[in-house]
Chain A
Amino acid sequence: MRVILPLPEVLQRESSRALPVMRLSWRHGILLAGLLCLFTIAADAAGTSPIRSSVFAVLARWTPLLLHGFALNILISVLSMAIGTALGAFLGLALISPDRPLRGTAWGVTQFFRNAPWLVLLFFMIFILPYHLHIGSFDFVLPDWSKAVIGLSLPVMANVAEIVRGGVQSIPNGQWEASESLGFTRHQQLWMIILPQAIRRMLPPWMNLYAILTTSTTLASIVGVNDVVTLAGQVLSAEGSRPDLLAPIYGYVLVMFYIYIYPIAWATRRLEHKYQVRN
């Protein structure tokens, strides 16, 4: 059974055009913040317990702790992206290699990690990876968040590989033929002719992948990493699980992510536009 979708070139361009975020404006941020305020005020009015402090005071009190957790989410996302991109670049090149066994293996790896649920991969890494890793005379220590990095970088790797493959295949065949007739070796063709052109087309889906990855870092909370979602739960617990705090606190976390991802989505859209015109 084939799990990958080998798309004709036209379709692929269509589907990759569908992915990046579009028509975003600063108004959405304002609207979201406004909505949060509304929820907060509604929740504030709904609460009746005399001992409670105001919802805004609670948010203000716990903001430093929550931001600390959010910083960990960002750290995890940046590291997973870096590792996943490095591995994915190799995997992607293997996907377009003329060597059949290599291509087949790379295809299997890509399919596995693209189709396994991220959360299950995370559970797998947290439970299976040891805390100390001895390689030769080196002794690595793997804290839980670093395992989350590894767990998340694997699906990133597979997706980057697909982006690389798609990018390279989007370059017209004539380029390969022309460069071959000029006496370039395959290695030279790839690195001097094809990749420099393909990389431009890979950038928007790559940035889009980063945005998706960043939202997925919250999954680490389910496997015990002390990220912003875990901390949000602990804050709720410390405040006595007040029902009126639920929407504001989780809404607050939503806003944090929105504010971080918004500029990335905006830049992705700009790049998309720019390259579309040139193409």
Chain B
Amino acid sequence: MNLIAAWFSHLNETTGINFTVFYDPFDRARFVQGFLVTLELCGVTIVGSVMVGILGAWGQGAASIWLRRLVQFYIQIFRNTPPLVQVYFFYFGLSALLPEVKNSFGMSQPLIGGFVWASISLICFAGAFNVEIFRSGIEAIPHSTLEAAEALGFTRLQTYRQVVLPLGLRICMPALTNNLVNLIKTTPLAYAIAVPELLYVCNQIWSDNENVPEMMLLLFIIYIALVGVLVFIMHRWERALRVPGLGL
């Protein structure tokens, strides 16, 4: 570690290429912290948006026309408007209508903080796409399979949980991977509402050190690595789930 620090310090002195995060403890601490927040944000929103997708796809197949319309309305709103404005709308607009709590400083403070609002709005945004993706996966299941389940005496919920969802998931896996990659690429939006994620800390670091290109390079490397890891995991999962004879 010391060797690395010394090398980057030397690099800065000799060439002016200034990777402060590798030798300055203050910058390294906040960089690592920002990276962890980004990881957490990615994790929370991926899990959340998949759950929204499953629930929404179920709602779209519901008997109640009002439930179907509601889901449809939700999808259209979040797909056809800018995610940045959604984040602002949630963080500033909606939270103004929510109750407030007193904090230790004796001031009232919104109930929900930046990280949670960023997660909620990103989940809603990616979830809207996931609903459509799951629905297309479900629609691709042959009717005969569903009829077979019905003939075997499965209830609607049982059919959904044990037949539709597992098969649909396998079919829509590639599209789901694409959308989750897209979600990871959208998380830097949280920067706009001061969530201390990776882009936020990098911006602070380059403001203090005037080393924009170096930090940009790190940002690109990290995000592309994150996407790579996600795609790798999804591929492994896809292979593990493969059912022989599903006709794909």
Q: Do A and B associate with each other?
A: yes
Report which A residues bind B (CB closer than 8 A): 1-3, 5, 7-8, 10-12, 14-15, 17-19, 21-24, 28, 31-32, 39, 42-43, 46, 112, 115-120, 123-124, 127-128, 211, 214-219, 221-222, 229, 232, 243-244, 246-248, 250-251, 253-254, 257-258, 261-262, 265
- Count A-B pairs with CB separation below 8 Å: 168
Complex interface bits, B48-87 against A, C-beta within 8 A gives 1, otherwise 0: 0000000000000000000000001100110111111110
Contact between B80 and A265, CB atoms less than 8 A apart = yes
CB proximity of B5 to chain A, nearest CB, Å: 26
CB proximity of B11 to chain A, nearest CB, Å: 20
Q: Which bracket fits the contact residues of B? A: 35 or more
* A-side interface mostly: helix
Known A-B contacts A8-B248, A31-B73; A246 and B93 likewise in contact (beta carbons under 8 Å): yes
Complex interface bits, B200-237 against A, C-beta within 8 A gives 1, otherwise 0: 00000000000011001001100110011001100100
- Given the complex, which residues of A lie within 8 Å of B224, measured CB to CB? 3, 112, 115-116
Contact between A251 and B93, CB atoms less than 8 A apart = yes
Known A-B contacts A120-B219, A128-B213, A251-B89; A11 and B80 likewise in contact (beta carbons under 8 Å): no
CB proximity of A232 to chain B, nearest CB, Å: 8
Per CB-CB distance, the 9 closest pairs between chain A and chain B, nearest first, are: A247-B93, A15-B175, A215-B82, A18-B136, A218-B82, A250-B89, A117-B185, A246-B92, A218-B84
Q: Does B133 contact A (CB under 8 A)?
A: yes
Report which B residues bind A (CB closer than 8 A): 72-73, 76-77, 79-86, 88-89, 92-94, 96-97, 132-133, 135-137, 140, 171-175, 177-178, 181, 184-189, 191-192, 199, 212-213, 216, 219-220, 223-224, 227-228, 231-232, 235, 248
- Given the complex, which residues of B lie within 8 Å of A222, measured CB to CB? 84, 191-192
Contact between B188 and A117, CB atoms less than 8 A apart = yes
